[in-house]
Chain A
Amino acid sequence: MIVMKNVYKKYPNGVVAANGINIEIDRGEFVYVVGPSGAGKSTFIKMMYREERPTSGEIIINGINLATLRNKRVPQLRRQIGVVFQDFKLLPKLNVYENVAFALEVIEAPPAEIRKKVNDVLALVGLTQKARMFPNELSGGEEQRVSIARSIVNVPKVVIADEPTGNLDPETSWDIMKIFEQINARGTTIVMATHNREIVNAIKHRVIAIEGGLITRDEYGGEYYEG
Chain B
Amino acid sequence: MKARTLGRHVRESFKSIRRNSWMTFASVSAVTVTLLLVGVFIVIMMNFNHLAKSIENDVEIKVVADPAADKVIIKELVEKVQSTDGVLEVVYSSRDAELDKMIKSFGDELSLYKQSNPLGDALYVKAKDPQQTAAIAKKIDTYDYTYDVVYGEEKVEKLFNVLNMSRNIGLVLILALLFTAMFLISNTIRITIVARRTEIEIMKLVGATNNFVRIPFVLEGMWLGIMGAIAPMLIISISYYKLFELLEPKLQGELFQLLNTAPFIYQLNGLILFMGISIGVWGSFMSVRKFLKV
Contacts and interface: CB of A to CB of B under 8 A. Distances in A.
Nearest to B201: A89
A202 interface: no
A102 interface: yes
Q: Which 5 A-B pairs have the closest CB atoms?
A: A79-B207, A78-B207, A106-B208, A103-B206, A75-B207
A91 B206 contact: no
B207 A105 contact: no
Contacts of A111: 4
A83 B201 CA distance: 12
Contacts of A110: 4
Contacts, number: 46
A93 interface: yes
A67 to B, nearest CB: 18
B246 interface: no
A78 B4 contact: no
Contacts of B207: 75-79, 103, 106-107, 154
A49 B202 contact: no
A171 interface: no
A219 interface: no
B209 interface: yes
A49 B205 contact: yes
Interface in A70-105: 75-79, 83, 89-91, 93, 102-103, 105
Interface residues of A, number: 22
Contacts of A76: 207
Given A51-B294, A93-B19, A106 B199 contact: no
29 contacts: A51-B205, A75-B204, A75-B207, A75-B208, A75-B209, A76-B207, A78-B204, A78-B206, A78-B207, A79-B206, A79-B207, A83-B206, A89-B198, A89-B201, A89-B205, A90-B202, A91-B198, A102-B206, A103-B207, A105-B8, A106-B206, A106-B208, A108-B2, A108-B4, A110-B4, A111-B4, A150-B206, A154-B206, A154-B207
B203 interface: yes
Q: Chain B interface secondary structure, helix, strand, loop or mixed?
A: helix
B2 A89 contact: no
How extensive is the interface on chain B, given as a class? Answer: 10 to 19
Interface of A: 49, 51, 75-79, 83, 89-91, 93, 102-103, 105-108, 110-111, 150, 154
A6 B199 CA distance: 34
Contacts of A154: 206-207
A72 to B, nearest CB: 8
A89 B209 contact: no
Interface in B82-100: none
Contacts of B4: 108, 110-111
Given A78-B205, A83-B205, A106 B198 contact: no
A107 B204 CA distance: 11
Nearest to A103: B206
B193 to A, nearest CB: 15
Contacts of A83: 205-206
Contacts of A89: 198, 201-202, 205
Contact of B212 (A49, A78, A90, A106): A106
Most buried by A among B5, B198, B202, B209: B202
A102 to B, nearest CB: 7
Nearest to B293: A71
A90 B207 CA distance: 15
Nearest to A102: B206
A107 B4 CA distance: 12
A103 B4 CA distance: 16
